[in-house]
Amino acid sequence: MTRLSVNINKIATLRNARGGELPDVLKAAIDCERFGAQGITVHPRSDERHITRKDVELIRPMVTTEFNIEGNPTPEFIELVLKHKPDQVTLVPDDPNQLTSDHGWNTIKHKVFLQNVIANFHEAGIRTSIFVDPDIEMVEGAKATGTDRIELYTESYAAEFSDGKEAAIKPFVEAANVANEIGLGLNAGHDLNLDNLKYFAQNIPGLLEVSIGHALVCDALYFGLDNAVQMYLRELRGE
């Protein structure tokens, strides 16, 4: 079954909006695993508007499934990752002023840069994944960087799903087929939710992992965190 990694950024956003320690981000990470999540994802940004460097330090030794740190590979980010050695690092081409991730890497233009960063992480024994759009040229370019996996940026799928799910998923199926053929592991994430997740998981060949945060945390406001995690797991199982 495709693994569920819960991105807990939005829990940290809520905490930071008020200050103090509520909600407890570390407890949320532990609880998500206890409720069945097979991984925890954090996306620390330079302004620490949600996940902080201190959060990463506290969460790392408590995660017993898979710890994934994603972000823009600035020198500060690279230092953070090498210090805490997650199971996986996902490289995202974020601008500091972006509200959220909104595009994948140009793996051809940034090939040498990505090769150097990925080699650095591989030397430390950290699996790498890079954020890419469902573009065959970019998927093929990702292979040349030496990355272990790609993470398909699924915002366009989510946006177009209600207008026609077959058309919305078509470029992702094509990209996944190429990734499988050339030996890249396959992750996905961004705007996947209870409406569109099952169809995506059932139709993307070789999908290893999805990272879901915003929608799952929103659903947890209504259903509770335990129930929300279970609901997403059921979608991935095709129930």
pLDDT value of position 98: 52
Note the pLDDT tens digit of each residue in 60-118: 999 999 999 999 999 999 999 999 999 999 999 976 565 555 578 999 999 999 999 99
Q: Which of 33, 43, 151, 209 is catalytic?
A: 43
Question: Is the distance from CB of 2 to CB of 208 less than 8 angstroms?
Answer: yes
Q: Is 70 a catalytic residue?
A: yes
d(CA 52, CA 36): 25
Query: What percent of the chain stands above pLDDT 70?
Result: 97
Q: Which of 70, 151, 209, 235 is catalytic?
A: 70
pLDDT value of position 20: 92
Q: Is 110 a catalytic residue?
A: no
pLDDT value of position 204: 98
pLDDT value of position 96: 58
pLDDT value of position 31: 98
Q: What is the mean pLDDT of residues 124-148?
A: 97
pLDDT value of position 107: 96
* Nearest to 153, CA basis, from 102, 201, 194: 102
Note the pLDDT tens digit of each residue in 189-226: 999 999 999 999 999 999 999 999 999 999 999 999 99
pLDDT value of position 102: 59
pLDDT value of position 97: 60
Q: Which of 151, 190, 209, 235 is catalytic?
A: 190
pLDDT value of position 101: 55
Note the pLDDT tens digit of each residue in 21-30: 999 999 999 9
Tell me the domain boundaries of the chain. Answer: 3-237
- The end-to-end CA distance of the chain, in Å, is 12
Burial degree of 140 (CB within 10 A; 0-12, 13-18, 19+): middle
pLDDT value of position 192: 98
Whole-model pTM: value is: 0.94
CA distances to 1, 3, 36, 198, 233 from 237, in Å: 6, 10, 13, 8, 6
According to CATH, the superfamily of the domain at 3-237 is: Aldolase class I (3.20.20.70)
Task: List helix spans (H) across the chain.
Answer: 9-18, 25-34, 53-59, 75-84, 111-123, 136-145, 155-160, 165-182, 197-203, 214-223, 225-237
Question: Has residue 161 got a pLDDT over 60?
Answer: yes
Question: Is the distance from CB of 115 to CB of 96 less than 8 angstroms?
Answer: no
Q: Is 190 a catalytic residue?
A: yes
